[in-house]
Structure formats: C-alpha cells, structure tokens
Amino acid sequence: MSGVRLRAPLSPLLSQMDAQGLDYDSRRVQAGFLFFAFPGSRADGRQFALDAIGRGAMAVASALPAPEGFPAPWIEVEHGRQALALSARNFYHRPDERIAVTGITGTNGKTTTSYLTDAILRAAGKTTAMIGTIEYHLGGRVLPAVNTTPESLDLERLFAELERMGGSHAVMEVSSHALALGRVYGLNFHTAIFTNLTRDHLDFHGTMEEYFAAKQLLFSGAGGPPPAWAILNRDDEWCRRVELPRECEALWFGLGQGVTVRARHITSNLQGLRFEVQNRKERFMVESPLLGKINVYNILAACCAGLSYGFTPETIAAGIAQCRAVPGRFERVDEGQPFAVVVDYAHTDDALKNTIAVARGLGAKRIITLFGCGGDRDRTKRPLMGKAAAENSDMVVLTSDNPRSEDPLAIMNDALVGIRRTDVPLAIEPDRATAIDRAIKEARPGDVVILAGKGHETYQVLKDKTIDFDDREVARGVLRGFGYHREPK
C-alpha cells in the first residue's frame, strides 16, 4: 500500500504481508486478498467486509471506521477509492506508465470521440483498448461495459492485459462521477480531452461549479502527473476556464476565435461530413460517414489526439474515414432506400430536440419521429418528450420503450399530454416492432425516420420478461421486406 495515506500505522505483521489480490466486491474475494470497503450508494461496504473475511481476505481497507469487534485486521485509510487506485497501480506494476492513455471527459460526445480516436490509433497500426459507455474493447475483443468509467482496479487490470497482448494505447471515457470519486486517481494520462460542459448530472454534483471542478481534475493531474497534452473545445465557455499546468501542451479545437486546430469548408449532408482540418503547420481533408455538424467537434477532438501522438495527416484522415458508425448514436440503417433511417439513444426531451435538429440540419424533407418513454422511471419527462417530438417533427409514432412493470398504454397516455397540444399527424402503436414498420412505411424520398430511445440497446424490458430487441435489426428487416437490400461493406 505504498503511497496510501493511512489514519493509523500498519501493524508490523500486516506491513510484511503481501496481498494475493485486491477486490472491492466481496463475492470475488479469495484467500489472501485485501478487501476494499466503500460507503456505496446502495449498501454500506462494511456489510460485505465480514463476507470478504469469510472468504479468506487478509484484511479490510476502508475510510470507514472498523465496526465494533471486527474479527480481522482493519486498515483505516484517508480515502477509500484513492487507496484502491494507488494499490491497484502497484499491484499491476503501473501499466499506465507504459500504455499511452487518452482520457475523454465532457457532457456530450465522449463515446463518439473515443470511437474516432480509437479508429485513428488503429489506423496507425496500434493495438488498443477502448473503455466507455457502450462496451469495452481490448485488442479486438469486445467485453461488456460495467460502468462508463470502471473502478481503478478494473482499469489497471485491463491495461495490464493490454500490455500482455502487446498493446500500447488506450482510450477511455472519463465521467465526472469517476473523477469526483477518485476512480482515475493517480492515473497517467498522455492526452486529456474536454468536449464540452452543459447542465447534467447535477443530482450528483450539486452545482455547475462542482461539476466543472470534477472535470478540472483530469487536467490538474489528481494524484499523478498532469497529462502531457490537453485538448479542449475553444468554443465552449467552460472549457476555456480550465486551468492548465505549465508543462501541459494545449491544443484548442473549434470554429471560432483563438483555436489552434480548426475546421474549414464544412460540407454536411446525408452522406456524412467533409471538411478541412487546419492547424499551424498543416491542412488536410477529412471525410466521415458520421452525420451532423455536432460531429465536426468530435472529429476535431480526435484529430487533435492523433496530432498529440505525432501521427501524420494521412493516418489521421484514414482513421476518421474508417470509423463507420458509433453504435446507437445517430446510427444509420442503410439498405439503399431513398430516405434515411437513424437509430439514436435520445431518451430525454432535450436529446430528442437535438437529434431532430441534426436531422433538420441535414435537409430532411419530413421528419418522422418514433419514440416511447421508459416505465418505472421519471414520469414528469413523458409529456415533455411528447411535446419535444411533436413540436419538431412532421409526424410522430408513439410506442413503447422498456415499459418494465407499467402498463404500456398508461405510459403512452402520459406522453400524449404533450403531443396533443400540437396538431402533428400521430400514430399510436404499443408494439415497438409494428410501430417501426409503421414509421418506415410512412417515409417518402428525402425523409428522415428517427427511431429514438434505445440506441445501442439490444433488449426490451417488459413486465414479466426481457426480450431481445434491436431497433437496427428490426428496421433492417422492415426495409428488406420492402425489397431494399445493400451488401454490408
């Protein structure tokens, strides 16, 4: 536990013992492990400490005081997650010092920017890991994502595994929760990216200032050195407030004043994006099948990451072109039909508005928006989602989206309150597959059909069971039923 701040010195016996493993989940503890007990959001980790000892843990480390009469050594540390982070780095022999890690933070665009950055690294011939919301990638293997940013222990383990595979670069989404909790405490980032900051997650952080303070930690280098490179959105007022350590090289991307890496001559249409990237030394064209001007920012950020690794413009442009889609983020289902079908994860009124605005910006003739509201979740957003869809679309198809234990018709009724304030043409169909069929049938050349809410999800949660359900597969089936067909590239 070298470097970990303790509230009381270790007993001589304990300081001579080496842990056989570390864990914060008592179910995985084996003989000789050191167990970390956190004050969890759902259960107090101390409840699990006894279980861990029962499974052979040598001791418990925690910022909480030992329960009365605890039957095993209890190491009281100043900060539980920081202690885990430092111990995990030591246990795995600091792989993050040898792996070049890119950390991406911000309210929106983290997942997209990480896919783009990973594509550039792979275009440069690197074996990579990518860690984020949708899934984790480890040198070509796909692992399910547990958290957008995993616990430090899982991160270091992934990095160690990447190193064993001959990998050299990792890209990860760094959520503000992870920063505030200390999941990336002490981690060495080569490159840190800040996409933007808008209102979100204030239930956790309290105020925008605190939300921002969490983001700032990525650049100050909490518990470790600051990143060698800082990549920031110059057009975002919060990014401009970031304080950068002197040794950190900054690249400012954007379209406005004061940028070092800029996009010029932007073409945005249903085929994708094309623009020139210009920095002090060079200019190069990039082309991407990703849609919507929002992605200009994500692509610029990824290009900057490529520049921070010294890659050539050709390599960077090749990587950008090779990133064909980000699962469930304005993802196109293209079977060669004369209208667009996009699947998007938007499941709040604000996200719906944004997604529909992207479709408008692409020159859609009409926009047909399909959406539903989740059951057993915030009811107040249902009429707001209805209103957002109705006010901004030319037709709305109201359906189900994970109704869970609620009656799908009752959920739809709540959404209808917002839709009925407008006179938008409306179809109501609780069965999502039938609804997708209906929405696509309505489309005429030049229209955009937005299938909102599920994005990359591949299931639908019903009252008594969870069924396989993938908007992209269902839409593809419908299009093929109409005789469209395109061979995958």
Ligand X SMILES: Nc1ncnc2c1ncn2[C@@H]1O[C@H](COP(=O)(O)OP(=O)(O)OP(=O)(O)O)[C@@H](O)[C@H]1O
Closest CB 345 distance from ligand X, rounded Å: 6
268 binds ligand X (CB under 6 A): no
Q: Are the C-beta atoms of residues 432 and 401 closer than 8 Å to each other? A: yes
Could you list the residues that contact Mg ion (CB under 5 A)? Answer: 110-111, 133
Sign of CA dihedral 69, 74, 79, 84: negative
User: Would you give the DSSP letter of residue 72?
Assistant: S
Please state, as a whole number, how many other Cβ atoms lie within 10 Å of the Cβ of residue 360: 14
Residue closest to ligand X, measured at CB: 109
State the nearest-atom distance from the C-beta of 348 to ligand X, in Å.
10
3-state percent breakdown (helix, strand, coil) of the chain, nearest 5 = 35, 20, 45
The region of 20-28, 54-62, 103-111, 209-217 touching ligand X under the rule CB under 6 A is 103-111
Decide: is 105 part of the binding site for ligand X (CB under 6 A): no
CB-nearer residue toward ligand X: 61 or 174: 174
Nearer to ligand X, 329 or 387 (CB): 329
Find where tokens 């400490």 sit: 49
Our CB check for ligand X shows the closer of 211 and 345 to be: 345
110 binds ligand X (CB under 6 A): yes
In the bound state with Mg ion, the residue whose beta carbon lies nearer, of 386 and 455, is 455
Nearer to ligand X, 429 or 471 (CB): 471
Binding status of residue 298 toward ligand X by CB under 6 A: yes
Residues 179-238 interacting with ligand X (rule: CB under 6 A): 195-196
* From 45, 80, 95, 109, residue interacting with ligand X (rule: CB under 6 A): 109
Spatial separation of the C-alpha atoms in residues 96 and 98, rounded to whole Å = 5
The footprint of ligand X on residues 334-373 (CB under 6 A) is 344-345, 354-355
> Is residue 294 part of the contact set for ligand X (CB under 6 A)?
yes
Distances in whole angstroms, Cα of residue 353 to Cα of each of 326, 345, 360: 20, 12, 10
Q: The sheet that has 426-428: what strands, in order across it?
A: 331-332, 340-344, 448-452, 367-371, 395-398, 426-428
Return the H-helix or E-strand segment holding 251.
Answer: strand 249-254
Q: Which stretch binds ligand X (CB under 6 A): 52-60, 106-114, 370-378, 399-407?
A: 106-114
- Tokens at 289, concatenated: 């099948």
Nearest Cα neighbor of 145 from 376, 457, 403 is 457
Read off φ and ψ for residue 396, nearest 5 degrees: -125, 135
User: Which residues would be at the binding site for ligand X (CB under 6 A)?
Assistant: 108-112, 133, 148, 173, 195-196, 294, 297-298, 329-330, 344-345, 354-355
